[in-house]
A and B are shown apart, each in its own frame.
Chain A
Amino acid sequence: MLKNRAYYRSQAIINVVMVLISMLFVLPLILLISSSLTDAEALKDGGYSLIPRSFSLAAYQSIFSNPQQIIDGYKTTIFVSVTAALAGTFVMCLTAYPLSRSYFPMKKVYNWFIFFPMLFSGGMIPSYIINTQYLNLDNTYWIYILPALCSTWNVIIIKTFFLGLPNEIFESAKIDGASELSIFFRFVLPLSKPVIATMALTTLLGKWNDWNTALLYIRDTELYSLQYLLQRILREAEFIKQMSYNTEINMGMIDVGSQQAAPEVIRYAMCIVAAGPALCIFPFFQKYFAKGLTVGSVKG
């Protein structure tokens, strides 16, 4: 009885702590959603609250007032992140598999080739030169997808997971006459669902949140990724505001009258529009995710 009570008490304490910690993550999100649904004036005067003080959809209306751009942005982002996630995971698994086999002759050399650029990469300007002047990838969908196909770090994680698969499976498959490819497709891939799901999800989210690629390489509005589009609307407003503030006295005729900065409400609404779908996808992957994250750490 006494033991029971102590048990419940400790459980209660742990739960309370966990609830508090999760509140730290959940509350800002709720605040964000509620702020995006608040009337702009009310937000300015009254500050933030968990329940919108005066409900208004104006921010969303103004974002979707030019829906074509947002639709294009969604199209680009969905296509790019799904393609990159699927193709990327596949390529990374294909890369990792031979590296995980002890009898692969060139293992050391390839390992080194893959590992070295992770530590010493060329940097932004050389990759920009390669992508634009030699591969001509700029201003196409390819720039989003191709450079993201193979991430060294992910290859190492996948490789470690493959190393953990029981060796007996490979031996018996070999004895039964399976080729390396059929071992890969019929045994390795089905057994590696957690790590595949994890890698697919991280690539998907990475690509979903990526705005830098579009900033550097994309010129046509139709090819803007969603994040970049939203980022741009905000940055443009912010930038013009800042410029007009800082150099007021020397700006001359540069007129900023009609370029009002996007009010805060619109920013929050943009966050929701941009992050929303990714938030919804996450729970479906979660059961794999936790497992996939730990796979790199334990062998055997």
Chain B
Amino acid sequence: MKKSIKLIAAVLACVMVLGLCACGGSQTATDTDGEVTLKWLTAGPGKQKDSDLVWATFNEKLAEKMPNTQVEIEALPFADFAEKWRLMIAANETIDIAWSGYAVNYTDEVKKGGYLELNDLLTQYAPKLYKSMPEWVWDLMEVDGKIYGIPCYQMMASRPAGFKVFKEDAEKYMDYKTLEEELLKKSEAGNPVLSEKAFDVIENYLLALNANGVPNKGFAPYNIAFIGEAEAQSDYGLSSPVNTVYLEYDETGRPIAKDGCAPDVTDVFYKRMAGIYQKGLIRKDVLTASDIRADEGVIGGYAMWYHAYDKFTEQQESLQIGKDIKVIHGEEKYIRPTGPAATNNSLPRSCSNPVRAMQFLEVLNDPADTSLYNMLVYGIEDKHYKKVGDNKIETLDYVGSPTLDSGYGIQKWVIGDSFNAYMTQGDVEGYDEYVKTDMNANAVAGNMEGFKFDKTPVKTELAQIDSVRKEFYGLRYGTYTDWQAKLKEYREKVQKCGQQKVIAEVQRQLDAWYDAQNK
């Protein structure tokens, strides 16, 4: 017995020593001379038929611009990216450049020490890349004042959201001007709930469609919280950080956290939704349907649905759907988002040569010569695409997004600055220009720009509240006949989960942030 205890102790000791060794092995080499092969872990449809060929050709071309530098690309499928990335970085595998887009939580990874700080590298080795994006885009990437990711430049501002309806029907049966007025009023005032007047328009429209025998599947349930629950605010840059809390501003502009579950705040919404459901204007199986979005933008599908839009939406979506649609605006501004960009490249902590990696990204995203970038995105000319104009191509075996079955193709927003990409037959003329000069340049700061809510102090409470919210989803779709009783029960439960503590914590952090801003 004693012997075996000793043995166990010895084994455990060995394990601990080995564990320590494994942690201490990070490299910090920064030499810029000699042959370097950069390993680039990127996302995409996965390794395709011609991937090896394209990447070999890419390296030949790259050698003309950057002698001594080769790139070894590993393209992971989006669905697997997060898991594999975590494993590879935990194992300290050498990765020189890694995609750090929406699949991984950028801020968390930075806090865990997964990425290298880029400020000095950017200004020193990639000045053109640094200047290609407005200052506020870089601000988004800052964690504690430092940049850890290079956004793949694309549409950066948040698009506003509004109702989409079929034009022909809406012009006949809907008072859409009133609805638009009410939506704009709501977003202007930062109200969590749409007015009764607006609900009247919605209900009357749906009833009129049915009365006149227009085939439709009613009101689309997706995104419905945006018109009636506190979380709606995040839509308008007012950015309530918590789903059950909404913000109001006092005369000095100081944000005040308000209880989104207090009586009367959202009653109108639940009442009207119950009415809509009982009149059969929303699908009966809304709580159990596996894909509630399947009938959006389908002829004979939902009569109205709530989504993001921009200047080109009506034109683009009408073409896709095959019937003219109309967007009922909900907001007139483009708002800067508050979180990091959706798709970026970073230098992981296991990067063997940060200087060379940064130099490579500068060359890759050079607007003066986009051939390298476009080769990685579209492949080889006449094999994967045909040139039809100066900057225009036609992709040969897919339209829009490439898939695993395509010969070659990676989404342009994964590789780098997507404004450097050729236009394909799937793109709309003038759209890039509009996004770059109209949306990105004119985007305004949301009221809460720069405020980042730290959830840790109320983590348990938030998790509990979230599960209660899910339990009572029937409220927002109006499926309960006794909605008032359910609403009461819901509110009591949320309060029991520590709602007041959450509100106090939000307020505390808001005050700290506001005071720091207005010293």
Contact = CB atoms under 8 A, between A and B. Distances in A.
B463 to A, nearest CB: 18
A238 B79 contact: yes
Nearest to A231: B79
A4 interface: no
B91 A236 contact: no
Given A248-B308, A256-B401, A125 B343 contact: no
A221 B404 contact: yes
Most buried by B among A44, A126, A132, A250: A250
Interface stretch (A9-17, A26-34, A150-158, A257-265): A257-265
Contact of B400 (A125, A216, A232, A257): A257
B87 A219 contact: no
A259 B403 contact: yes
Contacts of A124: 87
A59 B404 CA distance: 18
B401 A255 contact: yes
B391 interface: no
Nearest to B11: A116
Interface in A116-159: 116, 124-126, 128-129, 132-133
A254 B411 contact: yes
B139 to A, nearest CB: 15
A253 B155 contact: yes
Interface in B262-319: 290-291, 293-294, 307-308
Given A254-B342, A258-B398, A239 B79 contact: yes
B343 A254 contact: yes
B337 interface: yes
Interface string B406-437: 00000101000010000000100000000100
A249 B87 CA distance: 30
B159 interface: yes
A132 B94 CA distance: 12
Q: Is the interface of A mostly helix, strand, loop or mixed?
A: helix
B413 A216 contact: no
A76 to B, nearest CB: 15
Given A258-B398, A258-B400, A252 B154 contact: yes
B71 interface: no
A71 interface: no
**Chain B CB within 10 Å — which of A128, A249, A257 has the most?**
A249
Interface string A99-124: 00000000000001000100000001
Contacts of A248: 161, 223, 307-308
Interface in A194-225: 215-216, 219-221
A253 B435 contact: yes
Interface residues of A, number: 41
Contacts of B47: 219-221
Given A249-B161, A250-B342, A259-B403, A128 B78 contact: no
A129 B22 contact: yes
A198 B472 CA distance: 47
A221 B308 contact: no
Nearest to B292: A245
Nearest to B338: A250
A221 B46 contact: yes
Contact of A236 (B78, B290, B294, B320): B78
B413 A253 contact: yes
B337 A235 contact: no
Given A215-B80, A253-B435, A258-B400, A245 B22 contact: no
A112 B91 contact: no
Q: Which of A116, A124, A256, A257 has the most CB of B within 10 A?
A: A257
Contacts of A239: 78-79
A250 B79 contact: no
A235 B83 CA distance: 13
Contact of A251 (B103, B342, B398): B342
Nearest to A125: B90
Interface string B356-372: 00000000000000000
Nearest to A235: B79
B111 to A, nearest CB: 19
A89 B418 CA distance: 54
A259 B290 CA distance: 18
A179 interface: no
A169 interface: no
A66 interface: yes
B84 interface: yes
Given A216-B87, A247-B342, A250-B342, A255 B77 contact: no
Contact of A258 (B48, B80, B399): B399
B498 interface: no
A248 B342 CA distance: 11
Nearest to A122: B15
Nearest to A65: B405
A254 B77 contact: no
B405 A250 contact: no
B93 A259 contact: no
Contact of A254 (B11, B235, B413): B413
Given A128-B91, A247-B102, A258-B398, 6 more contacts: A221-B47, A236-B404, A238-B79, A249-B158, A254-B342, A258-B399
Interface of B: 4, 7, 11, 22, 45-48, 74, 77-80, 83-84, 87, 90-93, 102-103, 154-156, 158-159, 161, 222-223, 235, 290-291, 293-294, 307-308, 320, 337, 339, 342-343, 398-401, 403-405, 411, 413, 418, 426, 435
CB-based closest 6 A-B pairs: A258-B400, A252-B155, A239-B79, A235-B79, A129-B91, A125-B90
9 contacts: A132-B93, A216-B84, A219-B47, A236-B45, A240-B78, A250-B337, A252-B342, A254-B343, A259-B400
